[in-house]
Amino acid sequence: MPFLVPDFIKPLLAQPAAVLGGGVSGRAVLALLEKLGARGALFDERLEDARRDFLPFIGADAGIDAGTDTGTDIGVGINTCTGTGAGARRLVVFSPGFAPGHPWLAAARAAGCECLGELDFAALFWRGNIIAVTGTNGKTTLTEFLTHALQSTRRHAGATGNVGHPFSALVAEREGGVFDETAVCEVSSFQAEVFKHFRADSALWTNFAEDHLERHPGMAAYFEAKWRLLDRTVGGVMLAGSSVRRFAGAFGRVLPPDACVETENQPADVLLRGTVFEHYPQRENFLMAAAWWHRAGLPETALYEAARGFRPARHRLARVAERGGVTWWNDSKATNFHAVEGALARFTAPVILIAGGKSKGGDIAAFVARIAPRVKHALLIGGTAPALAAACRARGVPHTSCATLADAVRRAAENAAAGDAVLLGPGFASFDMFSGYQDRGDQFEQLVRDLPALSTSH
């Protein structure tokens, strides 16, 4: 079936589009443009030639700093003739890593370009339904679980978005999808804050806590970025967890009464025994899924059956091994304070915690104060190690600063006793030392496997 192309976008596809970002999102946009019979030119700000060529491409005369920065020092003089005819507009599609105020986007808007985020662009060509999932934590697992559950009932569904498979890729693969197909789309605050055309049939907001303050200028701005998803779900199903309701009240937002889902401190569910959703924090994801499932009128038994067969992606509070009565846990995906606190709540005794990484903003002293009773010893790595060490000293938390993850694992093995748990719960981004949280988790698991006299458990 041919793509359905909105009339307003057709003239923009008649000339090459600028695609900002050379990662997985940018490459997916190029593939979708090709399927649409259009062309795209990729610009990655890490490359010198991209910094030099982007502004002339969109019709802006500019002098670009030729240094090794990320292209933030740009002097712009606009020439509205793009070379494709006076007054012609250029399409610019950008990856989530480009903040709305990025100088390249500012220049493109000033030149009269139409600037769309990758998710927004892909949504223009999707025929099927969209279930959008957001939250500070749990959104990837909820996205994957809902997709798994729908597929288990023989419905057409695909996981996409911030989950690691861009919406542009899914749209290209499915050629716009069919009307009874569902895209279960993970949406980050970086994506939601720039929505223009994206519209969801359902929006599920798991929770809200401190995160991404390196991008958003405060908690209120972070909340408003996610709230834009609800603005794009008017007339559809809206569901929000307990913490979202609390913050909505604090920030002067009102949720529809039927949107609120009680996700915290709920009693045990015997039907979830033996599944990944038996305990918190994963229990919260099941409660959100069950609320949507009920609204959709789908059989409850099918959701519980899907829960029994579901396995979350790696690096999410997974037991790696046991050595001499010491258990080792990988929660490398815990890249914010809320995720670490949720993981620590799973343990009945204080743990040996490996934490630290690249700062995402937030109150480190307050974070350490909250987790102090649950930490036996903190092994600190990465760029935030000095700040964490200062906070640990102030709270009397035993701690050791480690130059590498290998050093932290070695020290944990030397000091742990039978009955202890060692948890990799970083609480921060990984990019100061690793290529991503997956790389960090993989290295941790390998280091644990390499410890002597180790008996692994599965």
Is 9 among the domain residues? no
In this prediction the pTM is 0.87
381 and 406 housed in the same domain: yes
164 and 304 housed in the same domain: yes
CATH number at residue 300: 3.40.1190.10
CATH number at residue 91: 3.40.50.720
Tell me which of 118, 139, 171 is where a domain ends: 118
* 353-371 b/e (C-beta count within 10 Å ≥ 16 → b): bbbbbbbbbbebeebbeeb
108 and 132 housed in the same domain: no
287 and 179 housed in the same domain: yes
Is 27 among the domain residues? yes
405 and 346 housed in the same domain: yes
172 and 276 housed in the same domain: yes
290 and 349 housed in the same domain: no
Domain hosting residue 165, numbered range: 125-308
112 and 197 housed in the same domain: no
131 and 49 housed in the same domain: no
Two structure tokens written together for 316: 């999410």
| pLDDT of 453 | 65
158 and 285 housed in the same domain: yes
Is 382 among the domain residues? yes
Tell me which of 118, 143, 174 is where a domain ends: 118
Tell me which of 55, 90, 118 is where a domain ends: 118
Mean pLDDT by 10 residues, the chain (458 residues): 88 96 96 97 90 88 40 34 50 96 94 96 97 96 98 97 96 91 97 96 96 93 97 94 97 95 96 95 96 97 98 92 94 95 94 97 96 98 97 97 97 96 97 95 96 58
| pLDDT of 243 | 97
| pLDDT of 88 | 55
| pLDDT of 65 | 38
| pLDDT of 61 | 57
The number of domains in the chain is: 3
